[in-house]
């Protein structure tokens, strides 16, 4: 029984170590272990001939690294909201305790 307890403790330590080392690899440009909230630019139309009449947002959420849902794809956000020409695409992230709750949002602006 004592050997089983040691294996459980070792397993827990290994999981904790890897979760601290490999978390936040796809969060955004910066990442903090307690709270992270960032906004950063994506792409824009270099010809600058598209009006910024409509704005749409799509987010992807993760809870406890177990469940992920949502849609943050720029093309699908534009299609669902009737944006036919894209002027800019921006992004934002939010993370609480390095993955307890996490989201990644995409903002699409165009006409």
Give the model confidence (pLDDT) of 57-96 as tens digits: 999 998 887 889 999 999 999 999 999 999 999 999 998 8
pLDDT at 20: 65
Give the model confidence (pLDDT) of 10-52 as tens digits: 888 888 777 666 665 555 566 677 888 888 888 877 777 888 8
User: What's the domain count of the chain?
Assistant: 1
Contact 98, 21 (CB under 8 A): no
- Work out the end-to-end distance of the chain between its first and last CA atoms, rounded to an integer number of angstroms: 67
Domain that holds residue 35: 2-110
> Which pTM does this prediction carry?
0.71
pLDDT at 25: 55
Q: Which residues contact 106 (CB under 8 A, 6 or more apart)?
A: 42, 57, 58, 59, 72, 73, 74, 77, 89, 90, 91
pLDDT above 90 as % of the chain: 37
pLDDT at 56: 96
CA distance 106 to 69: 14
Contact 106, 58 (CB under 8 A): yes
């Amino acid at each position: 029984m004592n050997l089983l307890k040691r294996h459980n403790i070792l397993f827990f330590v290994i999981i904790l170590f890897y979760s601290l080392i490999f978390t936040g690899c796809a969060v955004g440009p910066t990442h903090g272990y307690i709270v992270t909230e960032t906004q950063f630019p994506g792409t824009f139309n270099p010809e600058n001939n598209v009006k910024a009449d409509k704005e749409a947002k799509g987010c992807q959420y993760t809870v406890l690294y177990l469940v992920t849902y949502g849609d943050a794809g720029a093309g699908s956000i534009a299609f669902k909201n009737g944006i036919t020409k894209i002027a800019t695409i921006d992004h934002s992230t939010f993370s609480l305790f390095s993955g307890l709750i996490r989201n990644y949002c995409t903002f699409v602006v165009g006409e």
